[in-house]
């Protein structure tokens, strides 16, 4: 067995053709008969022996093959590629990976749904996740982005409720439409998110035909300590294509792995999908007085005030070699920043910076960063030691800093990019709903969807089919929520939803009738009397329409 260093700066195991290709036990000993088991007697019956190391080892390994799935974004797939600089950005950032036009940085990408469990259909109505790990010479930079430009919360403490409300009911294990809509009725700042979620933008035809957004605001920083805020928009070079709700449901039933399959097959066929990367640059002075809070992830920033500035391209050209090792164990976090790229005071981003790494430690263990996909090109920290499954030996390095016996080199010097001087009292804060929260959803309805034939109607239909399955009192509150966006929108959603609810009620009644009714099977009165049974019906012939005898209905 040989070790090969690949261009990602990672070490992977590669099989050596000169070695014998036979199966071995965990300790490398040859296994002559992998499917046999030691037992007493040579017939099929017989007790198995605990000394059968191979059998016991295989079962123990099977029992431990699974790791906890991600809390969100459990259903996903991955691929390799590169990020290439296409425009100079040195006026706003000193990031090494953006240092010159044409520079390429290796990338691992993972695409996913958000709420679906591992193995769930990929074409369900959902926000798609798109995470990119850039293997720069100054560390791994993680971009954990989404397929729509706005999020559902701006108060981090609401995130557990949002996750619970959009997953299955913990009592029944079933989707709960009442629970879903009741949450959003009580958290109406998410209306912009809802508008995107129930448009066709949330059922893309595949991962390659969807745009990607940072949602949160980050910072570009320079070595002199200056900085600019930035929001990222990653635009698909394949264009945008969406499925209708009916098409998405059909594919979900026929090919639940559709989006993974298409991405894999395109890359395998040499059709390398690509996206161009744009940044909206915001100076701190402008951000301070701008009417929209640039740290509010429920809102977008208009391009007329903050033009999209192209600076990079992402190309995916290689499939994973082992899905579990490389994609399932991939660990992303907004906290993985590099010089030139930094976090902002966005409260949701600040919470994500903690939550992602905490989740990876639970899911993959304390040393998840040593796994192949997660390992940076250069990593040395003698203060970070030991823990379960640690194999990064530090030899005789001092386990403290500074040390008189070990001189550490110095990295490229940066002046600290201090965001702001904070001075205030500690308070319990929760954002308040204002009419401004309905301005951008209204624009999305009146201007954006109106320009695309059929998209307004599709949004109404998509909402109606989902909302109709909620309780009437919850539906009524939801109509009021949509009326705050636009009176006509609320009216149309109410009409379409109640019509759909009536259909569902008729189906329910028909099913009850079917379950509670028995086919009429006439028997002679003599047979019933002979068996000392009650007569099933009149001795007269049944009426033409008396084909069924109904019970309790």
Binding residues for heme: 356
Helix H or strand E encompassing 4: strand 2-5
Which residues, at least 6 apart from 281, have a Cβ–Cβ distance to it below 8 Å?
92, 220, 228, 229, 230, 306, 309
> 1-29 burial by CB neighbour count: b if 16+ within 10 A, else e?
eeeeeeebbbeeeeeeeeeeeeeeeeeee
* 431 vs 440: CA distance, rounded Å: 17
Helix, strand or coil for residue 191? helix
Q: What is the DSSP letter of 202?
A: G
**H helix intervals, 277-410:** 284-289, 347-364
How many angstroms separate the CA atoms of 277 and 79, rounded?
18
Indicate which residue of 15, 33, 73, 164 is catalytic: 73
Helix axes 472-485, 177-186, angle to 10 degrees: 40
How far is Cα 418 from Cα 421, in angstroms, rounded to an integer?
Answer: 8
CB neighbour burial string for 121-151, b if at least 16 within 10 angstroms, e if fewer: bbbbbbbbbbbbbbbbebbbbbbbbbbbbbb
Separation of CA 426 from chain center = 33
CA–CA separation, 412 vs 309, rounded Å? 27
In the 3-class helix/strand/coil scheme, how is 146-167 assigned residue by residue? Answer: ECCCCCCCCCHHHHHHHHHHHC
Q: How many CB atoms lie within 10 A of CB 419?
A: 15
**CA–CA distances in Å: residue 408 to residues 119, 369, 387, 391:** 47, 22, 24, 22
Give me the half-sphere count of Cα atoms (radius 13 Å) on the Cβ side of residue 307. Answer: 3
Please tell me the distance from the alpha carbon of residue 50 to that of residue 56, in angstroms, as a whole number.
7
Q: Indicate the SS3 state at residue 130.
A: strand
- Spatial distance between the Cα atoms of 72 and 113, rounded to a whole number of angstroms: 8
Pairing of strands 129-136, 104-112: antiparallel
Residue 474 structure tokens: 């919850």
Q: CA–CA separation, 520 vs 542, rounded Å?
A: 9
Decide: helix, strand or coil at residue 138. Answer: coil
258 is catalytic: no
Catalytic sites, residue numbers: 73
């Amino acid at each position: 067995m040989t070790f090969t260093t690949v261009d990602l700066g990672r070490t992977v195991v590669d099989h050596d053709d000169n070695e014998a290709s036979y199966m071995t036990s965990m300790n490398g000993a040859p296994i002559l008969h992998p499917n046999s088991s030691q037992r007493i007697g040579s017939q099929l019956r017989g007790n198995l022996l605990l000394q059968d190391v191979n059998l016991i080892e295989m079962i123990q390994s099977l029992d431990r093959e699974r790791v906890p799935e991600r809390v969100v974004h459990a259903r996903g797939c991955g691929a390799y590629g590169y990020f290439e600089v296409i425009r100079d950005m040195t006026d706003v950032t000193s990031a090494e990976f953006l240092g010159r036009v044409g520079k390429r940085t290796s990338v691992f990408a993972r695409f996913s749904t958000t709420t679906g469990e591992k193995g769930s259909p990929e074409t369900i109505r959902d926000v798609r996740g798109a995470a990119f790990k850039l293997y720069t010479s100054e560390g791994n930079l993680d971009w954990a982005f989404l397929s729509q430009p706005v999020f559902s919360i701006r108060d981090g403490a609401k995130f557990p409720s949002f996750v619970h409300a959009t997953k299955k009911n913990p009592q029944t294990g079933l989707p709960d439409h009442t629970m879903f809509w009741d949450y959003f009725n009580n958290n109406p700042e998410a209306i912009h998110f809802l508008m995107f979620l129930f448009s066709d933008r949330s059922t893309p035809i595949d991962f390659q035909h969807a745009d990607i957004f940072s949602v949160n605001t980050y910072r570009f920083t320079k070595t002199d300590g200056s900085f600019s805020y930035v929001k990222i928009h990653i635009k698909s070079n394949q264009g945008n294509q969406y499925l209708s709700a009916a098409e998405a449901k059909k594919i979900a039933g026929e090919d639940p792995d559709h989006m993974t399959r298409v991405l894999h097959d395109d890359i395998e066929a040499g059709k390398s999908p690509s996206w161009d990367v744009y940044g909206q640059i915001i100076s701190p002075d402008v951000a301070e007085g701008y009417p929209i809070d640039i740290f509010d992830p429920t809102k977008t920033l208009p391009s007329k005030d903050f033009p999209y500035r192209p600076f990079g391209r992402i190309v995916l050209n290689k499939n994973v070699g082992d899905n579990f090792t490389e994609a399932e164990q991939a660990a992303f976090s907004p906290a993985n920043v590099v010089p030139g790229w930094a976090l902002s005071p966005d409260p949701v981003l600040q919470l994500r910076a903690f939550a992602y790494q905490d989740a990876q430690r639970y899911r993959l263990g304390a040393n998840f960063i040593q796994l192949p996909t997660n390992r940076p090109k250069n990593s040395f920290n003698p203060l970070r030691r030991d823990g379960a499954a640690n194999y990064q030996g530090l030899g005789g390095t001092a386990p403290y800093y500074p040390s008189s016996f070990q001189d550490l080199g110095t990295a490229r010097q940066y002046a600290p990019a201090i965001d702001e001087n904070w001075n205030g009292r500690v308070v319990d804060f929760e954002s308040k709903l204002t009419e401004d929260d309905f301005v951008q959803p209204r624009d999305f309805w009146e201007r954006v969807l109106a320009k695309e034939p059929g998209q307004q109607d599709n949004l109404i239909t998509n909402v109606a089919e989902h909302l109709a399955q909620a309780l009437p009192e919850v539906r009524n509150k939801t109509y009021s929520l949509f009326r705050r966006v636009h009176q006509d929108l609320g009216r149309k959603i109410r009409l379409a939803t109640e019509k759909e609810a009536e259909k569902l009620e008729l189906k329910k009644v028909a099913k009850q009738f079917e379950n509670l009714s028995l086919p009429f099977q006439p028997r002679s009165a003599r047979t019933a009397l002979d068996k000392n049974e009650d007569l099933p019906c009149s001795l007269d012939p049944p009426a033409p329409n008396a084909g069924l005898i109904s019970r309790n209905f």
